[in-house]
C-alpha cells in the first residue's frame, strides 16, 4: 500500500468513522501517499537485528497491585448519559 | 470422498482477579449495572491504563503449566473497531508480541490415547461491556461492568481433527485453568468462552481448506454440536461443487445450527498498533522462578497420583481430576469413608454425578457434602446397610431429610445380619413356593434368583445379600 487513491481514503475514513468532504478526497490521497513514500524510504534502511520500538520512552511498564481503588462512580457517570434506563446507558439499536 | 476436519480453538478465560486489567474497579459478577465501571473502563478523556500485576502472574502460571515460552518483553496493542459496548473505540490486546507462546497441552482422548495439542499463544486483553438488545424499543442498553475485565485468550494450533477431540481439549484446558486458580471456569457466566475455527479438506491433503470461525459457544455440549454442524455444512457445500466463504458465524443453540454474522457485526480491519498509553511488559527470570514456586499439583500430575495411590484406571482418574472441586470432593470422601478407593470413585462418578446432572448443579453446589457421603459409605463398609439401600438413603440425604444414621434409625433400614432371623424368612419363602422348590431341585438352577428376590422382598431389602446367598444355598440343597 504505497500509494493511496480516493477509494482507500474513503474506506479508512469509514473504518475510523470520520466524515470527510468528498471534494477533498484527492488532496487527502495525495498527502497520505507522500507520508507513505517517506515510510518507504525508511524501509530501505538495514534494520536487521534492531528491535522495533514500541514506545519512545525506554522504560518498562509499571504494575499496580490487584486491589480495589475505584469505588462505585455510577451516580457521577449517570449525569452525562443522554439516556438511562434500569441503570443501563441507552444508545440507538445497533442490530436490527 | 473421505474428508478430514481441521479444528483450532480460541478460548477466552476470564482471569480471576479482584480488579480490572487496567483499572482498580471491582470485577464481581452480578453487581448492579454500571456500578463497577470507572473512568478508565469507560475510556474517558485523560485517563491512563496501568497494568494489574496479578494478570502478569497468572499468565506466567499458565505459560509454565503448558511448557510455553514466557516472553521477556511483550507489547500491548490497540485493536480498533466501533461498537457501543467498547467505549474507547479500541480494545487493548496483544498482537505481534504476546506474553506467552509456543506451548502444548497433552489431552486424554476417549480411546485412552494421549494427544498433544499445540498452544500457539496466550495473550492478555480487556473484555468489552455487555449489550442488551432485547429489552428496549429501538435502543440498546449498555452495562459496562464487564468492560476492562482481564482475559487470557488462549489460541490452539489447528491440531484437532474432530468435535470430540476439540471437547476433550477444551475440558483439559478448563481443568487446567481452574486448577491453576487463574479462572473460575464458570461457562454460564461467560468466564470461559470458546470460538471454534473449522475447515475441512480431503483426507491426505496437506494444504488447509478455507476456515470459518464460530463464535458464542458457551458449553462443552454446544462446542461439540456447533463443530459437527459446521463440518457437515462445509462438506455438503464442497461435495456439491461450491466453495467455503471465510467468515464469522454464530452458533444458535436453539436451532442447533451456525449462521453467518450480519456484516454490521463484522469488522475485518482492526488496524492494530502498539498502544502508546502502555509500555513494554518486561518479565525477568527471577519473577518466573517465583511463580514456579507457587504452582499447584497440575491435573495430569494429580491424575497419575490417583492412579498410583488409589489404584484407579486412567479414565476414572481423569474424570475425577477434571476440576479441583471434584477431586477435593473425592479425596475428602475417601479419607473419611476409610479406604475402598474404587467404591468411592463409583459413587462420585455414578450417583453423585447423575444427581448433579439431573438438577443442573455443579459439585460445589452438591447438597450432600463429602463428609455426609463418607458417612453413608462407611455404613455400607461396616455392613449396616446394603449398597441398594444406600442409594435410597442418598436420595433422602439429597432432599435434606437428615443425616445417615438418623435416617437409618427413622426408616428402620438397618441391615438384617442375624442368621436366625434370615433363616426364618428363608423357611417361610420355601414353604410358600413348593412348585419352584421342586423345579429348582430338579435342576432349574436359575430359580435361585427367584428365592433371593423373595427373601429380599420380605426383608424390604434389608437382609445382607451375601448372607442370604449363603444361607439360601444351604437351605435349598437340603
Q: Please enumerate, as own/partner, the contacts of B247-251 that have beta carbons within 8 Å and a separation of 24 or more.
A: B247/B212, B247/B213, B248/B212, B248/B213, B248/B214, B248/B215, B249/B212, B249/B213, B249/B214, B249/B215, B250/B214, B250/B215, B250/B216, B251/B214, B251/B215, B251/B216, B251/B217, B251/B222, B251/B225, B251/B226
Cα B39 from Cα B332, distance rounded (Å): 46
Task: With CB atoms and an 8 Å threshold, state whether A73 touches B37.
Answer: yes
Q: How far is A47 from chain B (nearest CA, A)?
A: 17
pLDDT tier at B12, thresholds 50, 70, 90:
very high
% pLDDT > 90, chain B: 66
- Residue pair B60/B68 in contact by the 8 Å Cβ criterion: no
**Beta strand pairing status for B150-156 and B139-143?**
unpaired
Cβ-proximal residues to B129 (8 Å cutoff; 6+ apart), any chain: B37, B85, B86, B87, B142, B143, B144, B145, B146, B147
Calculate the CA dihedral of residues B36, B40, B46, B49 and round it to 10 degrees. Answer: 150
What cell does B1 get? Answer: 470422498
Q: Is the pLDDT of residue B119 over 70?
A: yes
Q: Give per-residue pLDDT as tens, B16-73.
A: 999 999 999 999 998 999 999 999 999 999 999 999 999 999 999 999 999 999 999 9
Q: Is the pLDDT of residue B266 over 70?
A: no
Considering its fold, how many domains does chain A have in total? 1
Task: With CB atoms and an 8 Å threshold, state whether B264 touches A94.
Answer: yes
For testing the chain B interface, which of A9, A73, A76, A82 should be mutated: the one with the most B CBs within 10 Å? A73
Q: Is B48 at the interface with chain A, CB within 8 A?
A: no
Cα B414 from Cα B385, distance rounded (Å): 6
Cα B101 from Cα B107, distance rounded (Å): 18
Q: Give per-residue pLDDT as tens, B378-405.
A: 988 888 888 888 898 899 899 888 888 8
Residue B18: its chain A contacts at CB < 8 A? 66-68
For testing the chain A interface, which of B136, B138, B270 should be mutated: the one with the most A CBs within 10 Å? B136
Task: With CB atoms and an 8 Å threshold, state whether A91 touches B36.
Answer: no
Segment B253-266 shows an average pLDDT of 75
% pLDDT > 90, chain A: 38
- Among A48-57, B299-308, B435-444, the range with the most confident prediction by mean pLDDT is B299-308
Domain residue extents for chain B:
3-290, 299-411, 419-477
Q: Is A77 inside a domain boundary?
A: no
Nearest to B42 among A15, A69, A77 (CB): A77
Q: Does domain B419-477 have CATH number 1.10.10.410?
A: yes
- Residue pair B124/B11 in contact by the 8 Å Cβ criterion: no
Q: Is B38 at the interface with chain A, CB within 8 A?
A: yes
Q: Is the pLDDT of residue B368 over 60?
A: yes
Number of CB pairs, chain A paired with chain B, less than 8 A apart: 133
Residue A86: its chain B contacts at CB < 8 A? 33, 135, 141
Task: With CB atoms and an 8 Å threshold, state whether B141 touches A90.
Answer: yes
Q: Is A16 at the interface with chain B, CB within 8 A?
A: yes
**B 250-289 residues inside an 8 A Cβ radius of A:** 262, 264-265, 267, 269, 271, 274, 276, 278-282
Nearest to B280 among A54, A65, A93 (CB): A54
A23: domain range?
6-43
Give the nearest chain B residue to A58 (CA atoms): B279
Could you tell me which of B210, B175, B220, B215 has the C-alpha nearest to residue B196? Answer: B215
Element (H, E) at A36: helix A25-43
Q: What is the mean pLDDT of chain B?
A: 91
What cell does A77 get? Answer: 457517570
Model pLDDT, residue B264: 45
Task: With CB atoms and an 8 Å threshold, state whether A89 touches B40.
Answer: no
Task: With CB atoms and an 8 Å threshold, state whether B35 touches A68.
Answer: no
Q: How far is B108 from chain A (nearest CA, A)?
A: 35
Backbone φ, ψ for residue B357 (5° rounding): -60, -45
Please state, in angstroms and as integers, the Cα–Cα distance from residue B23 to each residue in A4, B18, B119, following that order.
39, 11, 29
Model pLDDT, residue A1: 53
Segment B77-104 shows an average pLDDT of 94
Q: Is A13 inside a domain boundary?
A: yes
- Dihedral sign of CA atoms B396, B397, B402, B406 in order: positive
The one-digit pLDDT tens for each residue of chain A (96 residues) are: 568 899 989 988 888 888 999 999 999 999 999 999 998 998 889 989 988 887 888 888 999 999 999 988 888 888 888 899 889 999 998 765
**A 54-93 residues inside an 8 A Cβ radius of B:** 54-55, 57, 59-70, 72-74, 77-78, 83, 85-93
Residue A72: its chain B contacts at CB < 8 A? 35-36
Task: With CB atoms and an 8 Å threshold, state whether A60 touches B141.
Answer: no
What cell does B422 get? Answer: 434370615
* Residue B114 burial (C-beta neighbours within 10 Å; 0-12, 13-18, 19+): exposed
**B 202-231 residues inside an 8 A Cβ radius of A:** none
Residue B40: its chain A contacts at CB < 8 A? 70
ipTM for the assembly: 0.86
Query: Which of residues B99 and B247 earns the better pLDDT score?
Result: B99
Nearest to A87 among B17, B32, B75 (CB): B32
Model pLDDT, residue B144: 95
Residue A70: its chain B contacts at CB < 8 A? 19, 23-26, 38-40
Q: How far is B149 from chain A (nearest CA, A)?
A: 12
Cβ-proximal residues to B119 (8 Å cutoff; 6+ apart), any chain: B66, B68, B101, B102, B103, B104, B105, B154, B155, B156, B157
Q: Is A34 inside a domain boundary?
A: yes
Amino acid at each position: 500500500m504505497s500509494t493511496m487513491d480516493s477509494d482507500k481514503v474513503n474506506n479508512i475514513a469509514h473504518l475510523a468513522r470520520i466524515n470527510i468532504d468528498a471534494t477533498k478526497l484527492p488532496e487527502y490521497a495525495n498527502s497520505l501517499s507522500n507520508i507513505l513514500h517517506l515510510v518507504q524510504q525508511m524501509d530501505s534502511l538495514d534494520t536487521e537485528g534492531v528491535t522495533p520500538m514500541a514506545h519512545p520512552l525506554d522504560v518498562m511498564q509499571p504494575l499496580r497491585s490487584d486491589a480495589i481503588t475505584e469505588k462505585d462512580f455510577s451516580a457521577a457517570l449517570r449525569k452525562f448519559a443522554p439516556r438511562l434506563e434500569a441503570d443501563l446507558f441507552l444508545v440507538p439499536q445497533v442490530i436490527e | 470422498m473421505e474428508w478430514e476436519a481441521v479444528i483450532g480453538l480460541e478460548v477466552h478465560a476470564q482471569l480471576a482477579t479482584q480488579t480490572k486489567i487496567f483499572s482498580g474497579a471491582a470485577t464481581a459478577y452480578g453487581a448492579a449495572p454500571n456500578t463497577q465501571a470507572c473512568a478508565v473502563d469507560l475510556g474517558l478523556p485523560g485517563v491512563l491504563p496501568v497494568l494489574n500485576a496479578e494478570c502478569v502472574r497468572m499468565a506466567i502460571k499458565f505459560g509454565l503449566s503448558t511448557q510455553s515460552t514466557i516472553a521477556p518483553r511483550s507489547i500491548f496493542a490497540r485493536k480498533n473497531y466501533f461498537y457501543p459496548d467498547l467505549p474507547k473505540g479500541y480494545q487493548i490486546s496483544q498482537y505481534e508480541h504476546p506474553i506467552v507462546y509456543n506451548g502444548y497441552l497433552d489431552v486424554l482422548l476417549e480411546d485412552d490415547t494421549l494427544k498433544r495439542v499445540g498452544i500457539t499463544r496466550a495473550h492478555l486483553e480487556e473484555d468489552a461491556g455487555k449489550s442488551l438488545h432485547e429489552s428496549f424499543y429501538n435502543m440498546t442498553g449498555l452495562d459496562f461492568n464487564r468492560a476492562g475485565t482481564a482475559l487470557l485468550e488462549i489460541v490452539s494450533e489447528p491440531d484437532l481433527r474432530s468435535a470430540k477431540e476439540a471437547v476433550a481439549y477444551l475440558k483439559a484446558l478448563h481443568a487446567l485453568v481452574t486448577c491453576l486458580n487463574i479462572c473460575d471456569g464458570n461457562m454460564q457466566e461467560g468466564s470461559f468462552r470458546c470460538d471454534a475455527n473449522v475447515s475441512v479438506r480431503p483426507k491426505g491433503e496437506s494444504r488447509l481448506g478455507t476456515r470459518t470461525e464460530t463464535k458464542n459457544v458457551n458449553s462443552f455440549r454446544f462446542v461439540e454440536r456447533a463443530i459437527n454442524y459446521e463440518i457437515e455444512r462445509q462438506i455438503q457445500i464442497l461435495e456439491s461443487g461450491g466453495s467455503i466463504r471465510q467468515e464469522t458465524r454464530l452458533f444458535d443453540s436453539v436451532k442447533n445450527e451456525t449462521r453467518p454474522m450480519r456484516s454490521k457485526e463484522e469488522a475485518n480491519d482492526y488496524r492494530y498498533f502498539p498502544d502508546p498509553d502502555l509500555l513494554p511488559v518486561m518479565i525477568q527470570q527471577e519473577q518466573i522462578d517465583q511463580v514456579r514456586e507457587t504452582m499447584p499439583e497440575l491435573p495430569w500430575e494429580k491424575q497419575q497420583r490417583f492412579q498410583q495411590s488409589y489404584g484407579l484406571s486412567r479414565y476414572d482418574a481423569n474424570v475425577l481430576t477434571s476440576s479441583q472441586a471434584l477431586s477435593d470432593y473425592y479425596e475428602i470422601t475417601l479419607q473419611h469413608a476409610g479406604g475402598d478407593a474404587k467404591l468411592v470413585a463409583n459413587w462420585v462418578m455414578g450417583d453423585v454425578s447423575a444427581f448433579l446432572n439431573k438438577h443442573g448443579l455443579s459439585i460445589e453446589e452438591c447438597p450432600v457434602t463429602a463428609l455426609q457421603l463418607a458417612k453413608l459409605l462407611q455404613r455400607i463398609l461396616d455392613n449396616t446397610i446394603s449398597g441398594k439401600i444406600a442409594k435410597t438413603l442418598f436420595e433422602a440425604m439429597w432432599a435434606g431429610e437428615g443425616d445417615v444414621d438418623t435416617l437409618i434409625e427413622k426408616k428402620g433400614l438397618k441391615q438384617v445380619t442375624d442368621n436366625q432371623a434370615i433363616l426364618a424368612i428363608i423357611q417361610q419363602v420355601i414353604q410358600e413356593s413348593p412348585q419352584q422348590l421342586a423345579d429348582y431341585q430338579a435342576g432349574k438352577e436359575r430359580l435361585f434368583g427367584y428365592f433371593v428376590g423373595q427373601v429380599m422382598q420380605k426383608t424390604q431389602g434389608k437382609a445382607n445379600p451375601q448372607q442370604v446367598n449363603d444361607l439360601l444355598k444351604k437351605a435349598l440343597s437340603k
